[in-house]
A and B are shown apart, each in its own frame.
Chain A
Amino acid sequence: MSAVIEDTQTKLEAVGPAFTKEQMLLMRGKVRAIIHQIAAAVKPGMVEEDAVEMAKNLLAENDMVRGWHDVYVRFGTNTLKTFGEASDPGIVLKEDDIILIDIGPVWEEWEGDGGDTFVFGGDPEKQRCAEDARKLFHTVRHKWEETSMTGKALYEFAVEEAKALGWELNMDLSGHRLSDFPHAAIYDGPMADVDFKPSPLLWVLEIHIRHPTAGYGAFFEDMLLDDSYFP
Chain B
Amino acid sequence: MRIFARGSAVPVEPGDTILSAMKRAEKNIHSVCGGRGMCGTCRVAVAEDWLHQLPPPAAPELRLLRVLKAGAPNHRLACQTILEPRHDGLSFSPDPPPSRILLQQEINQ
**A interface list, Cβ under 8 A from B:** 11, 14, 16, 56, 60, 63, 65-71, 84, 106, 181-182, 184-186
Contacts and interface: CB of A to CB of B under 8 A. Distances in A.
Given A14-B108, A182-B100, A67 B60 contact: no
A66 B100 contact: no
Contact of B32 (A60, A84, A184): A184
Interface stretch (B36-44, B45-53, B90-98): B36-44
Specify the main secondary structure of chain A where it touches its partner: loop
B47 to A, nearest CB: 26
B57 interface: no
Chain B, interface size: which category?
20 to 34
A106 B108 contact: no
A1 B66 CA distance: 47
B34 A69 contact: yes
Nearest to B41: A182
B33 A65 contact: no
B28 interface: no
Contacts of A69: 33-34, 36, 38
Contact of A66 (B38, B101, B108): B38
